[in-house]
Structure 1
């Protein structure tokens, strides 16, 4: 038995705008993140999640009420929250004796779970504890990943991809040096990922290139990797598929080297140099004396040939 769902069209201008905003686009907006508190969550992990919320603002939604959710048993409530808030990314804070100070990061694809990783928060130091000048809200951070695990381990590669999705913003066509003010560093070592946040200071150096110094502004925390639920390779490949309109058409015989120099290759047919007329300029013509000497040589050659015969 097939059930036909009735599609209710919006009648107000606000409703139409909301539906248009949810539609698929060629160039997507910055991905929003929804922050959810579990029924039992320690103040330690909630404060850590609030600091991450401040880093993610304004592309973030923080839910104040506690929710009876177990993500690794049933992720359906989180999928509903993500769909309702139009936020493909989520963070979930919880706490229990077996897994203290628990923080789950995940993302959805077509309103269904794609990836989900569970971390334990250790050595946490909040934003307020760093008594330094902070950065402006909504600034696009530079993401730095340190450690061989991000290159050699499949699990860490997917976690790196999730972290990039979580903290990046809209793509930038041009980069301004003064706009590079914030850096987020992730270092992978021995089943942990160390998160550090820095402010980039541009100091005078006496040359055109400024002297760069990093000042830690917080938050600081260590993520202990616990459980994970990663998508299959086929589903992950499908989620990374780009529309045809955005694919750059490859031009034949044109390549770009490592320094950004464009190189071209020209294919030419066989050239018959003997039959090519090369003397077309007056300056290249033989002088009168050269022509006389050439005639004498031809005459001497013909005379010797006739004597031999």
Structure 2
């Protein structure tokens, strides 16, 4: 298959916008890393007008996918963690073209995982975790056990990814394989939830109790990034928080996360008068360290 696609990537290599080309082959019969394709041709480019471009090829009983991704889009996905297989492609794929060592530099960045990037990733993941946990707890209290189960499974996935970040690594597609080695206690919780013969109600009750402790023990680290940003000003409106460049990445989880941190005493509310005598403006602040 590579011999057939070589003219395609050679043509792309001659384009001055092309930064690097990586060849990825499936490692299992059905491979989530390659989206079930036999081969992936992963091309990184400077072109931001078309951040994502995909083509599929077939030859006899084999199939290949071509993905052309802009550097800006790649960095966004890596920051938000919304496309974990890219980490595998970058680290384990075979580099067939590398302009000015761009791919090599990206690999160094992934290996080093700078502390600021890690803080942002942990903050975003922790915000997702708190939303799923709080929604799951509400469903549980309403006796909606299946909905609660769905939310607690999601929250455990976010907890697992946090454990990977804490070890200075990037979560992979098969994150539970990583977590089994890195943090067996979280893996055991997940295993008990999905494998226990206890009633669903009992499993959920035990999981919420255990999760409460695990979330509480990680709140300071998980909130480090957002608190650091909020400490740069005396006070913020919610609109200002939404518009802050780094905090935009928290997306729909931002307001729930802020309310969670208010409840835990990390963020304070400051009230200011409006034209009405009964309604007050609500501002948010963090005491500088």
Q: TM-score range by the shorter chain?
A: under 0.3
TM-score calculated relative to the size of structure 2: 0.28
Structure exhibiting the larger radius of gyration computed from Cα positions = 1
Greater strand share, 1 or 2? 1
Greater helix share, 1 or 2? 2
Greater RCO structure (CA 8 Å; 6+ sep) = 1
